[in-house]
């Protein structure tokens, strides 16, 4: 365990007038929403930047290309800067009003209104391997804004980059001592020390999430626990979109990017692609052609457009996952096995080519709707053209983080969303008229810093309110069989 500082009494007295205990059991320290004012006053516009050194470290640690490394680092920095800016507008406020007041009785004498107040605890943020900077930043930013100290626990395999980002923040001296702490490796009995004022936020596999939530202390102490786990996100092509049209080209570009960015190791990556049955062959051909142009190889190579998977365990899980999907679908592109990467020594590297499968009976398939392969892997599925059929197939995934639909038919869209939105955390309509304000199958992480679980899943929970549904587990799905989060140190290019 490595701890970057500890909140001492002198620090606490500077950032809060009314101290409260961080832990209800064990060692105690102090924190308060007044922290946000002192932090925000000195918060830089860009706390961490994607320099050539940091992108090189990202390539060595996680196997990312330069663009994918910037995606993670700049995304995390932008999130920190955004919430730092929000803090400047809060001033000395210790509460926030939520919504309008409501008259609860016959007269205004019985009147109610929601007020958000900070929790008097610590935020423990357990992050996945795929976004070592953005993953911790989006959780920590909300917690710090709410006046809570943060303990960051990154996935061990890519913790090197997380450690460097946190060291930069500590070196800038923009946080009170001990407000941001890092644990690499085992957390010991940390989770058994959490109490009712504390928060546990987890991103990773459903299997790990279930093991965390089954810990007796979390039940006994009513610890607020938020999970983002596996998600079989879907991209749906409307029947009004014809080949060669601008909307068609947008659909193909979006799907290919969402399959291959970060080598498919994104919680919001497209895993299922729905197209009208009469268009399925044309969609298959268009996607196969576009995926065939992707150059998989050494992430620092100038010709490479997609790097390797992060660890050997990810590669093994992905190969096994493609085999499971292959029992219900046929391969269109890729071979489902490790390949040699462009610019990498023969036999070295955890490379998997973009892999597209096709299943002709979407409703009878099971693994396709239950098992997420955390890699550049997606399955093409037909539907009969009706919005009800498309929405029902999307719903077979049991609940997803995000989903997208490509159509200009408002009536069709309304019927689709009426059903599909019940199992989709953030549905997005994509059309040519909206291109200037949205850039991805989800509202792309590059298009906004207030993304995914940043505001809804973490901030609301820290402000003493549970978040809206965000993960497959929270939205009522059965947790799919998932890839394990590896614990070995990664050398993604040369194992």
Task: For residue 234, list its beta bridge partners.
Answer: 272, 403
Q: Tell me what pLDDT residue 445 has.
A: 29
CATH topology of domain 233-448: Aldehyde Dehydrogenase; Chain A, domain 2 (3.40.309)
Annotation marks residue 460 as catalytic: no
- Among 221, 228, 328, 372, the one annotated catalytic: 228
Q: Tell me what pLDDT residue 52 has.
A: 63
Q: Tell me what pLDDT residue 483 has.
A: 25
CA 226 to chain centre: 13
Identify whether the C-beta of residue 58 lies closer than 8 Å to the C-beta of residue 75.
Answer: no
Return residue ranges of the chain for CATH 3.40.605.10: 9-228
Q: What is the mean pLDDT of each run of 10 residues along the chain (495 residues)?
A: 35 28 30 42 53 68 81 87 85 84 88 89 91 89 89 90 88 86 91 94 86 89 87 95 95 96 93 97 98 95 94 95 97 96 94 97 94 96 97 92 91 92 75 46 30 27 25 31 26 29
Identify whether the C-beta of residue 235 lies closer than 8 Å to the C-beta of residue 254.
Answer: yes
pLDDT tens digits for range 68-122? 888 888 888 888 888 888 888 887 888 888 888 999 998 888 989 999 888 899 9
The contacts of residue 194 (CB under 8 Å, 6+ apart) are 23, 121, 122, 124, 200, 217, 218, 221, 223
Task: Give the pTM.
Answer: 0.75
The contacts of residue 27 (CB under 8 Å, 6+ apart) are none
Q: Tell me what pLDDT residue 4 has.
A: 36
- Among 138, 267, 328, 372, the one annotated catalytic: 267
Q: Tell me what pLDDT residue 435 has.
A: 44
Residue 488 buriedness (CB in 10 A; 0-12 / 13-18 / 19+): exposed
The contacts of residue 207 (CB under 8 Å, 6+ apart) are 479, 481, 482, 484
Q: What top-level class would CATH report for the domain 9-228?
A: alpha beta
Annotation marks residue 267 as catalytic: yes
Return residue ranges of the chain for CATH 3.40.309.10: 233-448
């Amino acid at each position: 365990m490595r701890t970057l500082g500890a909140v001492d009494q002198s620090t606490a007295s500077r950032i809060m007038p009314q101290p409260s205990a961080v832990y209800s059991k064990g060692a105690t320290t102090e924190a308060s929403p007044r922290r946000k004012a002192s932090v925000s006053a000195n918060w830089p516009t860009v706390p961490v930047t994607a320099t050539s050194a940091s992108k090189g470290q990202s390539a060595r640690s996680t196997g990312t290309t330069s663009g994918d490394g910037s995606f993670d680092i700049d995304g995390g920095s932008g999130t920190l800067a955004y919430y730092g800016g929000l803090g400047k507008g809060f001033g000395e406020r210790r509460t926030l009003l939520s919504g309008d007041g409501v008259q609860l009785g016959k007269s205004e004498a019985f009147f109610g209104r929601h007020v958000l107040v900070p929790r008097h605890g610590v935020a423990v943020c357990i992050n996945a391997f795929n976004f070592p900077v953005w993953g911790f930043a989006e959780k920590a930013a909300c917690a710090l804004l709410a006046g809570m100290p943060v303990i960051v626990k990154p996935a061990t395999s890519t913790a090197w980059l997380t450690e460097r980002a946190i060291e930069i923040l500590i070196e800038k001296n923009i946080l009170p001592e001990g407000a941001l702490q890092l644990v690499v490796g085992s957390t010991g009995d940390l989770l058994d020390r959490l109490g009712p004022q504390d928060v546990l936020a987890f991103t990773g596999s459903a299997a790990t999430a279930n093991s965390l939530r089954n810990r007796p202390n979390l039940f006994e102490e009513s610890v607020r626990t938020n999970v983002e786990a596996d998600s079989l996100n879907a991209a749906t092509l409307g029947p009004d979109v014809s080949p060669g049209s601008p909307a068609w080209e947008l659909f193909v570009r979006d799907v290919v990017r969402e399959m291959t960015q970060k080598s498919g190791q994104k919680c919001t990556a497209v895993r299922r692609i729905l197209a009208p049955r009469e268009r399925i062959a044309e969609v298959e051909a268009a996607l196969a052609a576009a995926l065939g142009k992707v150059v998989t190889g050494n992430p620092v190579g100038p010709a490479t457009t997609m790097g390797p998977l992060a660890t050997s365990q990810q590669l093994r899980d992905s190969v096994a996952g493609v085999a499971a999907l292959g029992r219900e679908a046929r391969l269109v592109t890729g071979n489902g096995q490790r390949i040699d990467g462009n610019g990498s020594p023969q036999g070295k590297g955890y490379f998997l080519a973009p892999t597209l499968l096709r299943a002709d009976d979407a409703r009878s398939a099971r693994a396709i709707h239950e098992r997420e392969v955390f890699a550049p892997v997606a399955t093409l599925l037909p539907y009969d053209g009706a919005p009800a059929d498309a929405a029902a197939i999307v719903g077979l995934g049991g609940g997803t983080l995000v989903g997208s639909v490509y159509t200009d038919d408002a009536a069709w869209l309304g019927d689709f969303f009426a059903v599909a939105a019940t199992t989709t955390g953030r549905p997005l309509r994509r059309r040519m008229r909206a291109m200037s304000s949205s850039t991805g199958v989800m509202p792309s992480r590059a298009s906004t810093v207030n993304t995914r679980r940043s505001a809804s899943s973490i901030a609301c929970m820290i402000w003493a309110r549970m978040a809206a549904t965000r993960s497959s587990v929270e939205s009522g799905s059965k947790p799919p069989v998932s890839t394990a989060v590896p614990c070995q140190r990664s050398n993604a290019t040369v194992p």
